[in-house]
Amino acid sequence: MHRHYLVRNSKRLVVISALIFGFVSVAFFGCSNFLINYDGAKIRAGYEIPLVTDDKKMGHYTTRDLTVDYEYQLQGDTLHLSGKVRFSDFLTREYGLRYFNLSLLFADGENNIIGSTSLTSAGYGGPITFDRTLKLPTQATTMAFGFTYTGQSMGGGEGAGGSYDFWDYPVVR
């Protein structure tokens, strides 16, 4: 009788474990797919950077948290893009860098996102620069920057030493 009880409880344990694993997998992969899946998404108005052929173009992408000073040159379907990331004084003073990623989104003439790529990643300080040569997705007419920043709280008091995330992806559905 004791053995039958263990077998029956073992089966329950396997079923419950499988259900929990399935739920966690669906929740995790479903959410992550939503976060990185740009199907049907557009670049938010005002964030587009037009891709103009031939001449070297310079610009600045600025948010409350950072500025990206960039220059690019487009020749055919090849984009040469370089630049430097400058974080706001507040961000670096209050939240020391643990991880940073700068991405580039590509959109068509109707602002539909048709591609994306990571430009640079960094951790724990230092100047952050990038110099990339990229093949443009077919029909790309604009681009936009997006970023994630994970910082470590530098101040004293409650919450000191905690990890905080900052991001800006100019995406609308």
In CATH terms, the fold of domain 42-172 is Immunoglobulin-like (2.60.40)
Q: Is 138:87 a contact under the CB 8 Å cutoff? A: no
Tell me the torsion sign for CA atoms 42, 44, 47, 50: positive
pLDDT of residue 160: 64
Say how many C-beta atoms besides its own lie within 10 A of residue 96's C-beta: 13
Domain limits of the chain? 42-172
Per-residue confidence in pLDDT tens, the chain, 173 aa: 455 544 455 555 444 544 444 443 333 333 333 456 788 899 999 999 999 987 899 999 999 999 999 999 999 999 999 999 999 888 888 888 889 999 999 999 999 999 999 999 988 766 899 999 999 999 999 999 999 999 888 766 665 678 888 889 999 98
pLDDT of residue 101: 95
Give the helix, strand, coil percentages of the chain, each rounded to 5. Answer: 25, 50, 30
* 137 vs 159: CA distance, rounded Å: 43
pLDDT of residue 157: 61
